[in-house]
Structure 1
Amino acid sequence: MPQPDLANIAALLADPSRATMLAALMDGRALTATELAATAQVSAPTASSHLARLTTSGLLTMIKQGRHRYFRIANEAVAHVAETLMAIAAGHPSPAPRTGPSDKALRRARVCYDHLAGELGVQLLNGLLAAGYLSERDGALTLPPAGERWCIEFGIDLATLRHSRRPLCRGCLDWSERRTHLSGALGAAILERMLARGWVRRQSQGRALVVSPAGVRFVQQL
Structure 2
Amino acid sequence: MLLIAKGAEAEIYLVDWFGIRAVLKWRKPKTYRDQTLDYLIRRRRTINEVRNMYIAYTAGVRVPSVYFFDPEKASIVMEYIEGENLRDLLNRGRFDVLLRAGAYVGKMHKAGLIHGDLAPTNIIQSGGELYFIDFGLGEARAGWSRKTAVLMARDVNVLLRTLDLYGDRAEELRQLFWNGYRDEMGPRASVVEKEVARIRASGRYVERR
With normalisation by structure 2, the TM-score equals: 0.24
